[in-house]
Structure 1
Amino acid sequence: MTHPAAEDAHHHADVSGGWLRAAVFGAMDGLVTNIALIAGVGGGGIAPRTIVLTGTAGLVAGAISMGLGEFTSVRAQNEQIAAEVAKERRELTKFPEAEAEELARIWERRGLPAELALQVASTLGRDIDEAVRVHAQEELGVDPDDAPSPWVAAGSSFVCFSVGALVPLLPYLLGGTSLWPALAAGGVGLFVAGALISRYTRRRWWASGIRQLLLGAAAAGATYLVGRLIGV
């Protein structure tokens, strides 16, 4: 019986489900995009009502773009993997001995004795479905049974971009008329988002938060200067 502590230590986070990368990218993109957008138009001196309109348009357009982009990207990736797996299945059906030797050579390079590697690879080839899965993992680096969902990726990206983009808009939506509370809210959002990401990456929470804050500040600073230079 496995000790509970050992089971907990061996537990890994889901790194291939397709939602985490899309959610992180969506939230950060939403924050940075709308902070920079609001800083740019605010630096140009436009009215608060126009800033709200601009920020809202940026939120809607960006969320739709991110969702569609993630869906298309993940679906294209899955289709490419499916095509390669189908090719591997055909090769295993036509040339089982050659494929077994190829798999055995991979295992030999990892230190398995040549005779044992070939014996295991040949035995594995008797079950075509299992052979396809193992060959895909060893040769392509993918698990054909664990492909990310394009719908999950699209939904995560859409929702998280919307939430991120809403943060710097909140002070204006609550009646504010100054640019600086919006930038401060965006800065807090960036730091919190970076700190939350550290839960999955095992980085120090404050270091991750500061990194995201500095990146967002650089983008906002650049667009603010452009807005000041161009004006209204």
Structure 2
Amino acid sequence: LYGKKDFFKTIDIAARCGQDSDCNAATVAGVLGTMIGYSQIPEKWKESLYEIEDRDFEYTDISLNDIYEIGFKHALLVVEQQEGKTDGDQVIINCQQPTAVAYEKSFEGHFPIEKKPVNQTISEGFSVNFEGIGIVLKGSVQCADANYIAQVEMYIDNVLAETAELPVSSSNARRVDLFWQYQLPMGEHTLTFKWLNPRSDAQVTATEAIIYSNTPSR
């Protein structure tokens, strides 16, 4: 939409529009590639793939070439399921009238106004004070035992908001952010914690808090 079918512009814009934006750029490039076709993707975006297309992704037995084949197979099945036809290398698609999906807007009325450094380990009496309508607390869990999962109760203004399970940072199941809460009444709030299963070789570290308000910062 904003990149006007230019791969670099499209990826660049998508990468700047999110906190965890690697997936945004990959998704929009995939959508654009589907729209214009593989042969229309500029060579500079494909040339780095050729040497690794037969290499399996880590922790899987599937490669890019396998994914290409599976995706192509599924596409042909969908064409036939929707009353289209395949004949050799020819595909006839039954065109349909697009139907608009329900409009959804993430974080409506929420505006990030501050990144607040925290850099503390969670312990008895630890708290984060903020003024706004939402908060995201970033951080990590460290432990010599890679299978350890910290169980932490998180409270907003002394009311239990969540009992979170936080795997260690090296785990594939790790939680990217320790805690988040939105749609709070505008005002001053206090975030507190209770670590239910502490151990001497583990620590839960909060690095920074992202604060949201109901109006943009000036």
Alignment TM class, shorter chain as reference: under 0.3
**Normalising by structure 1, what TM-score?**
0.22
Structure in which a larger fraction of residues adopt strand: 2
**Normalising by structure 2, what TM-score?**
0.22
Structure in which a larger fraction of residues adopt helix: 1
Report which of the two structures shows the higher radius of gyration computed on alpha carbons: 1
Q: Which structure's relative contact order is higher, taking Cα pairs within 8 Å and 6+ residues apart? A: 1
